[in-house]
């Protein structure tokens, strides 16, 4: 087991990253949860992350402030409407317009900084190549390249005393498999929030891409999503 | 020439990054200068960056807020004394204790985000393998690995329409060569600040590693450093 091994776990408060936190704990890691206040409109996401940490537990929970809005460029951070129809939600390339530029690269860079300070060799991230195939920075080849770079960037990597490992336990799972895995580890998905456009009370819209994908996952897993929706 | 080509230029306001901005302009790029407010104590550094932009010119100057202090771990951001003696300034590994964890990785990630929004293919960074050999993220192999990762992280890289290039024009230069290059391009080094520990008026200490390296560079280039020092 990995008892006493520290791991930085990227935690948005969504279904995927919450499952990852449960997996890291189950594998015996001592999780250090890392969330970001990055100019996203969905601050309810951070409240979800805090709820998840209070229930699942973590050695520490850091919310780092970064502001990608200074660069503009995405529906998730810029002041434009979140697309409600999956068919309108891609450009010709098939990459969703909700894509945030370099987001995972920025998030992993902060995780790398914290891992180095902690002396941790392990970072967990809930990227998934199946459901999110349109996101370039959710693919195995990207993660592999990041890991190689990271091992050249740090004291530990250069000295050869520690090799950083980026864990992507959800990479090849369907949404239903992710949910089934989380449930088997006792995750209460009522704590989580996946919606791109929650209302002030934190209720999910049920219509954005993320809600649609989540609802479909629960249906395929044969369960009911315990999260509140303002429309069904 | 590269007229009309946009380039993101990482600009600290120090001697090296200012020289890089002048080189990018000289190569015909339209520079977008990127600085960071990252919890460093030397806010005078950002004032220097603004002075440099106002004189050398840039299409835009963004100062992005990031706070690496949440992770602790370095003399440049934590509340401990800046070392004044180069011989005390390394651990056994030869890596300076002023090293900020994953700093260049974080900075380049923001540059990548901005480049993607701008549709720019070029990022300039003033890393140098000679003077700063103790910093793992200032070496050519690190930059190469970062570039490979970046081209897997973005729409442009995946679509094959644009390949990101990280330019490191100072990589193999001595400090004296950097200064000579900058002077030949008309850089006024009085605008810049290299000191880790400037006083309230912005005068350099003349004693920290960065000052010592800078003064030695000017001496070897056969010039006088026009920056104000509070001790000589």
Nearest to B148 among A62, A145, A154 (CB): A145
The pLDDT mean for chain A works out to 84
| Cα–Cα dist B69/B71, whole Å | 5
Judged against a pLDDT cut of 80, whether residue B39 lies above it is answered with no
Say which residue, B90 or A99, is predicted with more confidence: A99
| pLDDT for residue A91 | 38
- Give the number of A-B residue pairs with CB atoms closer than 8 Å: 143
* Domain extent listing, chain A: 6-187
The CATH label, of 3.40.50.620, 3.40.50.2000, 2.60.290.11, 3.40.50.720, for the domain at B6-78+102-193 is 3.40.50.620
Contact B110 A106 (CB under 8 A): yes
ipTM over 0.90: no
Q: Are B137 and A116 in contact (CB < 8 Å)?
A: no
Computed over every residue of chain B, the mean pLDDT equals 84
Give A86's pLDDT tier (boundaries 50, 70, 90): very low
Q: What digits encode the pLDDT tens for the residues B154-206?
A: 766 777 777 899 999 999 999 999 999 999 999 999 999 999 888 888 899 99
Does A130 have pLDDT greater than 70? yes
Query: What are B's interface residues with A at a Cβ cutoff of 8 A?
Result: 62, 64-68, 70-73, 93, 95, 99-106, 108-110, 112-114, 116-117, 136-137, 139, 141-142, 145-146, 148-150, 152-155, 157-159
Contacts of B149 in chain A (CB under 8 A): 105, 142, 145-146, 148-149
For residue A196, what pLDDT band results from cuts at 50, 70 and 90?
A: confident
- Cβ–Cβ of A157/B149 closer than 8 Å? no
CA distance A184 to chain B (A): 33
Contact criterion met (CB < 8 Å) for B117 and A146: no
Residue B53 distance to chain A (closest CA, Å): 18
Nearest to A148 among B72, B112, B145 (CB): B145
pLDDT at A80 over 60: no
**pLDDT value, residue A209:** 85
**What pTM, to 2 d.p., does this model score?**
0.87
The verdict on a CB contact (< 8 Å) between B101 and A93 is no
- Planar angle of CA B204, B209, B211, nearest 5 degrees: 30
- Judged against a pLDDT cut of 80, whether residue A90 lies above it is answered with no
Average pLDDT over residues B206-227: 94
> For residue B52, what pLDDT is reported?
97
Q: Which of B34, B36, B70 best tests the A interface by mutation, with the highest count of A CBs <10 A?
A: B70
The model's pLDDT over B5-33, given as tens digits with 9 standing for 90+, comes to 999 999 999 999 999 999 999 999 999 99
Token couple for A224: 């009911």
Span B60-94, pLDDT tens digits: 999 988 777 777 655 445 444 444 443 333 434 44
For residue B109, pLDDT beyond 80? yes
Q: What six digits make up the tokens of A79?
A: 């002041």
Distance from CA of A212 to the nearest CA of B (A): 24
- What tokens appear for A68 in the block? 């990608």
Least confident residue range of A169-183, B91-105, B137-151: B91-105
Topology of the domain comprising A6-187: Rossmann fold (3.40.50)
B113 to A106: CB separation less than 8 angstroms, yes or no: yes
b/e per residue A51-70 (b: at least 16 CB within 10 A)? bbbeebebeebbebebebbb
Residue of B62, B74, B106 to mutate when probing chain A, most A C-beta within 10 A:
B106
């Amino acid at each position: 087991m990995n008892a006493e091994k520290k791991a930085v776990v990227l935690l948005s408060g969504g279904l995927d990253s919450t499952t990852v936190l449960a997996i890291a704990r189950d594998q015996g890691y001592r999780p250090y949860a890392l969330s970001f206040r990055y100019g996203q409109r969905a601050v309810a996401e951070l409240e979800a992350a805090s709820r998840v940490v209070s229930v699942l537990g973590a050695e520490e929970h850091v919310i780092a402030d970064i502001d990608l809005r200074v660069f503009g460029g995405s529906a998730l951070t810029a002041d434009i409407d979140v697309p409600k129809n999956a068919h309108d939600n891609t450009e010709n390339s098939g990459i969703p317009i909700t894509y945030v530029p370099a987001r995972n690269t920025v998030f992993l860079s902060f995780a790398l900084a914290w891992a180095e300070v902690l002396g941790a060799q392990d970072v967990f991230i809930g990227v998934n190549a199946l459901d999110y195939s349109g996101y370039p920075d959710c693919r195995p080849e990207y993660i592999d390249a990041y890991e190689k770079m990271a091992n050249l960037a740090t004291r530990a990597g250069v000295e050869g005393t520690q090799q950083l490992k980026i864990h992507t336990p959800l990479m090849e799972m369907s949404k239903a498999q992710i949910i089934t895995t989380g449930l088997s580890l006792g995750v209460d998905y009522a704590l989580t929030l996946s919606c791109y456009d929650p209302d002030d009370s934190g209720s999910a819209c049920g219509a954005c891409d993320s809600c649609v994908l989540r609802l479909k996952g629960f249906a395929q897993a044969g369960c009911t999503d315990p999260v509140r929706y303002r429309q069904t």
